[in-house]
Amino acid sequence: MMSLEHEKKMRRAHITREVIEVILLVVVISVAIRLSIDTRFVEGDSMEPNLPPSQLVMVNKLAYLFGSPQRGDVIVLYFPLDTSKQFIKRIIGIPGDRIDLKPGEVSVNGHPIAEPYVTKEQNAQVGSVTLGPDQYFVMGDHREVSCDSRSWGPLPKNDIIGKVTLVYWPLSKIHGVNTYDSTFAGIPDQKATKASSNIPFGNDCAA
């Protein structure tokens, strides 16, 4: 017959094991969430008026695990010329696309796009660029101040951290991030072959 003391020890061991299992489960879930979802404060003015400074956004780091970035997506990226910096930009062109920049106009594969997310169109660079495999053309919504592909060239896919999906702070401004699918509807995808450009890219911006 089991003694009372032995029964108490068995009960304590069982409780201890359950507590450890719960703690391990919480750790595993926390790590999984951390690897798949992140948060960022919006810094600078380059995505105004859609993402003003100091808003807190949710970043889906697994968004492109089984799919490719699309035109209109808002992403967090490593600045290719200094990967210690992270920017938030909108994808305008995907691999194979030809981007034509003119004063007051952006065309993708020969289709001028009406950009409702831009309040004032301005291009620091004028010319055209054809994107190679795994290259993306990104721009900020506030074109006058944005440091983006117009200045430092196409973005390698490996520099994409994740897709911005939600603004959740301040609470009064909670909303999903609009990718403006209708803006890019009808633009045919082009097979990515060889990259080319007549734009003299140079790091002439700092924000």
What CATH number is given to the structural domain containing 142?
A: 2.10.109.10
Domain limits for position 151: 42-197
Cis omega before residue 49 (within 30°)? Answer: yes
Other beta carbons within 10 angstroms of residue 49's beta carbon come to 11
The catalytic residues are 46, 89
Instruction: Examine the domain organization and report whether 31 and 49 are in the same domain.
Output: no
Contact 76, 136 (CB under 8 A): no
Residue 207 lies in a domain: no
Instruction: Examine the domain organization and report whether 100 and 8 are in the same domain.
Output: no
Instruction: Examine the domain organization and report whether 137 and 161 are in the same domain.
Output: yes
Residue 89 lies in a domain: yes
Instruction: Examine the domain organization and report whether 64 and 23 are in the same domain.
Output: no
Residue 204 lies in a domain: no
Q: Is residue 101 within a helix (H) or strand (E), and if so which, with residue range?
A: strand 98-102
The structural domain count of the chain equals 2
Residue 205 lies in a domain: no
Instruction: Output the tens digit of pLDDT for each of the chain's 207 residues.
Output: 557 676 666 777 667 776 776 676 666 555 555 556 788 899 989 999 999 998 999 999 999 988 999 999 999 999 999 999 999 999 999 999 999 999 889 999 999 999 999 987 777 778 999 999 999 999 999 998 899 999 999 999 999 999 999 999 888 889 999 999 999 998 988 888 889 998 888 776 655
